[in-house]
């Protein structure tokens, strides 16, 4: 027998009794000379005590950490403990009671009692303590120096368990170090990858988390939890389609996982697919009737669809499960508001404010109810409080009602001037923005790391079910752009310094004259600002295409030119050499192929077709495709509306091209004949856009400008028919048929004076009696069109 192992105990003051109990249990082992209690240390908040005793700590062989809500709550102390830990100590958490750490769903955590079953759940508790003692005896056994190698715990396992312990303490940075160490020691440690994924997820490092889960899945393709957690991470990132794929896999592997259904429901919900979301919540509730988040989420989904009574039932159930849950009252109140039951709504909002006096949104929403009841004094007071706690009441009001006049008209009220002023902003935006808040509403995934739940605001008032349903209908009509187009879409080349890399035609000629090799890397260049609707108006600009790894010495004239900028170029961030471009997404072929481009900022959808192989700057967004008709889809008012509803506006009048949102745009499923017709009209527009008379705002050329705009309207009509064929046909609105009957020529089939042929086509299609003109004229009698035009 060697020396007794030195045991170090850490516990929270509140758990002193348990610590004493533990010592009592260990007394026998101490008497046997197996261990000696080296140090028994109460956690003292605010004191840098671990520093002081770090020597003691690191001289110990075993650390027993008594896990309870109060010990885990001492974040600072735990951080110090984590910092003080060396890698050589065997850590054994002793679980006293059920608390947060289990939400992490860490795998293979070794804790005592067995399986981490908390002591207070053992009947009687003494059995739990007994289990702890037996467990410790085993550990001590294998830690003895003379134990044979096959039973001996290995270093990688120790390091891995230390990672788990650090996670338990909420020290994800340290945990990642430990897991990484474990992986270094054993590259096939699947669980270490998985747990490291969770640690990254805790930090919000989604991409790292995803790659760790993916690695774990590579090593073990049926790793259910890895799919599930990767799904959660995708969902956090807003990549719902991938999230859903992962949840599908997780459910396939384990059909009884209520949370996987619930979270898939959330992903569907965020995509606006409420029916599917509801089906998933139903399944989750079936599997686990106590799952509070399912009721809340289902309530939100029902509310979004306008099924208020069902929503109310769900929130009421939630209140039954937890009568102190402020958000549940708020959400029910919100639903009552949308139903017009303002008294009940006010009662619920008041209750939620009682439970959480800082609940800004609840004040705001109660204020809105008072407005409806024309109790100006209460309304004024609630709105003022909401504003003072930080609710943007002007934005919320604008999103819900557009403006005060619209609100008054809609509800037949007349607001007092001061309240109207509180709710008014001077800027105008083209579309009433309602959905944007719905997205915020459904993405409040207040994740406790890996257990995912919508447990936050069922935000603003009132969600218009019409808008929500229409968005869902549009999504259901097609497949997302990212799936439709094979090549990934992205922004253009970042030079890091346009002055050095972009040259005009004159300088280009000079560079080539100086050395003929220059021509090889001088490429036609496109700025975002030169993209018009339908076609690009490329200026005579050229990009020095100094890709990564270029042999710059082969281009002496170029080198001489950019040397002038060497100092500034060297200061750019990134790993490129000073003469290289800062970032070139994709490979260069990507630019030479036919593509659609749009500027990174715009007022209206501004996609153009580029077949000239222009090299785009990073003020451009590129979609690699030969399908010209997609330009028609992307520039249509339907898509403009869709995009403005789902994306963030830069300012009231400006949109931003954001990959994540553009990729979501559903591309409708249409026949090749239909694609060809849209493509043809797009070609008309490309041609017309280039003509001087169509761009002149001179009254003398008004008719040509109208022609251009009229063909755009025709595209709108066609695209409406692609997305909503049944609705349009019910209203007797047809565009494809009459236009196909015209057998319009392609622009390049027209010989002679093309403009005069186009004018003829326009005048014909614009005749008062032509069904295309008539259908466009009366198009807004169709409900979805009215919604999109903000007239519903």
Partner 1 sequence: MRITKIKIKNFRAFYGRPYQLNLHRAGKNLLIYGENGSGKSSLYLALECFLESSEDDSYQFENYQNIFIADAGYIKLHLRADRRSNEQTYEWSQSVKETNDPLFIEASKANGFLDYKALLETHYVHRESGIVNVFDLLVKNLLANTVSALTGRSLADDWEDIQPPFPRRNATNQIAILEEQIENFNLELADRLTELRTKASEILEKFGYDVKVEFDFQGITYNRDNKMLDGEQILLKVKFFDRDIPLHHRFLNEAKLSAIAIAIYFSSILVQPESDLKILALDDVLIGLDMSNRLPVIDILEEYFSDYQIFFLTYDRTWYEIVRQRTEESKWKYAEFYFKKTPENEIPIYEEDRPYLAKAKEYFDNNDYKACAIYIRTAFEEAIKNFCDKKRLPVRYSEDPKKLTSEDFWTAIKNEAFLQNSLINEIELYRKFILNPLSHATIVNIIKKEISGAIDAVENLEQELKKL
**Which stretches of the chain bind partner 1, using CB under 8 A?**
409-410, 412, 426-428, 603, 637, 653-654, 697, 699, 702-703, 705-706, 709-710, 713, 716, 731, 766, 768-769, 773-774, 776-782, 789, 791
Work out how close the CB of 381 gets to partner 1 at its nearest, in angstroms, rounded to a whole number.
Answer: 28
128 or 784: CB nearest partner 1? 784
Work out how close the CB of 778 gets to partner 1 at its nearest, in angstroms, rounded to a whole number.
Answer: 5
743 or 768: CB nearest partner 1? 768
DSSP code string of 714-775: HHHHHHHHHH-HHHHHHTT--SHHHHHHTTPPPGGG--S-HHHHHHHHHHHHTSTT-HHHHH
276 or 733: CB nearest partner 1? 733
213 or 723: CB nearest partner 1? 723
666 or 717: CB nearest partner 1? 717
Sheet bearing 522-526, strands edge to edge = 502-504, 541-544, 522-526, 615-616
Q: Which residues contact 61 (CB under 8 A, 6 or more apart)?
A: 5, 6, 7, 89, 90, 143
Q: What share of the chain is helix, strand, coil (3-state, %, to 5)?
A: 60, 10, 30
591 or 602: CB nearest partner 1? 602
144 or 601: CB nearest partner 1? 601
Q: Which residues contact 363 (CB under 8 A, 6 or more apart)?
A: 349, 353, 382, 383, 385, 386, 389, 391
132 or 782: CB nearest partner 1? 782
Work out how close the CB of 718 gets to partner 1 at its nearest, in angstroms, rounded to a whole number.
Answer: 13
Work out how close the CB of 409 gets to partner 1 at its nearest, in angstroms, rounded to a whole number.
Answer: 5
Work out how close the CB of 420 gets to partner 1 at its nearest, in angstroms, rounded to a whole number.
Answer: 14
What does the block give as tokens for 503?
A: 């040259």
Distance in angstroms (rounded) separating the CA atoms of residues 410 and 413: 8
Work out how close the CB of 697 gets to partner 1 at its nearest, in angstroms, rounded to a whole number.
Answer: 5
Distance in angstroms (rounded) separating the CA atoms of residues 547 and 63: 55
How distant is the alpha carbon of residue 588 from its chain centre? Answer: 29
355 or 406: CB nearest partner 1? 406
224 or 429: CB nearest partner 1? 429
Work out how close the CB of 709 gets to partner 1 at its nearest, in angstroms, rounded to a whole number.
Answer: 4
CA distances (Å), 397 to each of 113, 405, 565, in order? Answer: 55, 12, 51
Q: Which residues contact 123 (CB under 8 A, 6 or more apart)?
A: none
What does the block give as tokens for 448?
A: 């406790």
573 or 769: CB nearest partner 1? 769
Closest CA to 556 of 506, 505, 502, 520: 520
Residue 113: is the preceding peptide bond cis (ω within 30°)?
yes
Q: Which residues contact 683 (CB under 8 A, 6 or more apart)?
A: 628, 746, 747
480 or 731: CB nearest partner 1? 731
Work out how close the CB of 774 gets to partner 1 at its nearest, in angstroms, rounded to a whole number.
Answer: 4
Handedness of CA 17, 21, 24, 30 (dihedral sign): negative
Distance in angstroms (rounded) separating the CA atoms of residues 191 and 108: 8
258 or 634: CB nearest partner 1? 634
Work out how close the CB of 707 gets to partner 1 at its nearest, in angstroms, rounded to a whole number.
Answer: 9
Instruction: List 480's β-bridge partners, or say none.
Output: 666
3-state SS, one letter per residue, for 604-647: CCCCEEECCCCEEECCEEEEECCCCHHHHHHHCHHHHHHHHHHC
- With beta carbons less than 8 A apart as the criterion, state whether 246 and 227 touch: yes
Please, is 656 exposed, middle or buried when counting C-beta atoms within 10 Å of its C-beta (0-12, 13-18, 19+)?
middle
499: alpha, beta or left? (left if phi > 0; alpha if psi -120 to 50): alpha
739 or 779: CB nearest partner 1? 779
Question: To 10 degrees, the CA torsion angle through 138, 144, 147, 151?
Answer: 40
Work out how close the CB of 781 gets to partner 1 at its nearest, in angstroms, rounded to a whole number.
Answer: 4
- With beta carbons less than 8 A apart as the criterion, state whether 547 and 523 touch: no
247 or 407: CB nearest partner 1? 407
- Beta strands 62-67 and 5-12, pairing class: parallel
What does the block give as tokens for 434?
A: 């309602």
Work out how close the CB of 712 gets to partner 1 at its nearest, in angstroms, rounded to a whole number.
Answer: 9
Work out how close the CB of 546 gets to partner 1 at its nearest, in angstroms, rounded to a whole number.
Answer: 34
Work out how close the CB of 527 gets to partner 1 at its nearest, in angstroms, rounded to a whole number.
Answer: 18
Work out how close the CB of 166 gets to partner 1 at its nearest, in angstroms, rounded to a whole number.
Answer: 51
- With beta carbons less than 8 A apart as the criterion, state whether 438 and 265 touch: no
Of how many residues is the chain composed?
792
Work out how close the CB of 604 gets to partner 1 at its nearest, in angstroms, rounded to a whole number.
Answer: 10
């Amino acid at each position: 027998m060697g020396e007794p192992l030195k045991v170090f105990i850490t516990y929270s003051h509140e758990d002193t009794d348990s610590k004493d109990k533990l010592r009592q249990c260990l007394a026998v082992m101490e008497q046997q000379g197996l261990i000696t209690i080296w140090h028994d240390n109460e956690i003292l908040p605010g004191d840098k005590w671990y520093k002081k005793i770090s020597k003691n700590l690191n001289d110990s062989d075993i650390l027993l950490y008594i896990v309870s809500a109060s010990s885990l709550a001492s974040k600072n102390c735990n951080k110090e403990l984590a910092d003080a830990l060396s890698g050589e100590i065997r850590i054994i958490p002793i679980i006293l009671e059920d608390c947060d750490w289990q939400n992490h769903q860490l795998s293979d955590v070794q804790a005592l009692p067995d399986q981490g079953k908390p002591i207070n759940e053992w009947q009687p508790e003494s059995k739990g303590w007994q289990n702890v003692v037996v467990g410790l005896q085993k550990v001590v056994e294998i830690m003895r120096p003379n134990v044979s190698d096959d039973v001996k715990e290995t270093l990688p396992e120790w390091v891995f368990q230390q990672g788990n312990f650090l996670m338990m303490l909420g020290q994800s940075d340290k945990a990642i170090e430990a897991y990484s160490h474990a992986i270094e020691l054993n590259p096939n440690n699947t669980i270490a990858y998985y747990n490291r994924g969770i640690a990254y997820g805790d930090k919000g490092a989604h991409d790292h988390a995803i790659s760790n889960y993916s690695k774990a899945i590579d090593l073990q393709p049926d790793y259910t939890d890895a799919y599930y957690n990767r799904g959660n991470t995708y969902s956090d990132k807003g990549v719902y389609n991938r999230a859903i794929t992962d949840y599908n896999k997780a459910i396939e592997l384990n059909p009884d996982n209520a949370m996987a259904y619930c979270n898939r429901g959330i992903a569907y919900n965020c995509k606006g697919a409420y029916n599917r979301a509801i089906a998933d919540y139903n399944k989750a509730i079936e599997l686990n009737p106590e799952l509070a988040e399912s009721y809340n989420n289902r309530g939100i989904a029902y509310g979004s669809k306008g099924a208020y009574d069902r929503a109310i039932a769900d929130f009421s159930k939630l209140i039954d499960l937890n009568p102190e849950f402020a958000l549940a009252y708020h959400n029910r109140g919100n639903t009552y508001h949308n139903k017009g039951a303002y008294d009940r709504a006010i009662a619920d909002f008041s209750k939620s404010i009682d439970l959480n006096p800082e609940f800004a949104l609840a004040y705001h929403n109660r204020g809105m109810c008072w407005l409806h009841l024309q109790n100006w004094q209460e309304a004024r007071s609630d709105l003022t409080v909401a504003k003072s706690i930080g609710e943007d009441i002007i934005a919320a009001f604008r999103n819900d009602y557009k403006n005060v006049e619209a609100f008054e008209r809609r509800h037949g009220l007349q607001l007092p001037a001061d309240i109207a002023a509180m709710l008014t902003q001077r800027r105008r935006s083209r579309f009433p923005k309602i959905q944007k808040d719905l997205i915020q509403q459904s993405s409040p995934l207040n994740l406790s790391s890996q257990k995912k739940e919508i447990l936050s605001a069922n935000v603003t008032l009132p969600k218009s079910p019409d808008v929500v349903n229409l968005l869902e209908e549009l999504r259901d009509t097609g497949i997302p752009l990212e799936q439709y187009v094979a090549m990934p879409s992205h922004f253009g080349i970042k030079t890091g310094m346009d002055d050095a890399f972009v040259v005009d035609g004159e300088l280009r000629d000079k560079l080539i004259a100086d050395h003929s090799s220059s021509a090889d890397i001088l490429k036609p260049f496109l700025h975002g600002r030169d993209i018009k609707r339908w076609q690009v108006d490329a200026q005579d600009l050229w990009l020095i295409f100094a890709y990564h790894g270029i042999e710059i010495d082969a281009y002496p004239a170029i080198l001489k030119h950019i040397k002038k900028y060497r100092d500034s170029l060297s200061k750019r961030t990134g790993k490129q050499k000073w003469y290289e471009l800062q970032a070139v997404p994709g490979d260069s072929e990507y630019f030479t192929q036919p593509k659609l481009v749009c500027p990174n900022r715009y007022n209206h959808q501004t996609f153009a077709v580029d077949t000239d192989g222009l090299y785009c700057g990073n003020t451009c967004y590129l979609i690699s495709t030969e399908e010209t008709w997609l330009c028609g889809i992307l520039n249509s008012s339907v898509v403009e509306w869709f995009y403005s509803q789902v994306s963030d506006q830069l300012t009231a009048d400006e949109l931003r091209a954001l990959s994540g949102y553009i990729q979501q745009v559903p591309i409708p499923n249409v026949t090749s004949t239909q694609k060809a017709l849209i493509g043809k009209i797009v070609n008309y527009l490309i041609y017309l856009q280039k003509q001087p008379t169509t761009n002149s705002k001179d009254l003398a050329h008004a008719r040509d400008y109208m022609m251009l705009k009229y063909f755009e309207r025709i595209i709108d009509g066609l695209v409406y028919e692609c997305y909503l064929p049944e609705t349009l046909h019910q209203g007797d609105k047809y565009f494809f048929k009459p236009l196909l009957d015209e057998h319009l020529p392609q622009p390049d089939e027209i010989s002679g004076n093309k403009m005069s042929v186009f004018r003829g086509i326009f005048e014909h299609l614009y005749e008062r009696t032509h069904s295309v003109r008539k259908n466009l004229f009366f198009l807004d009698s169709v409900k979805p069109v009215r919604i999109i035009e903000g007239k519903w």
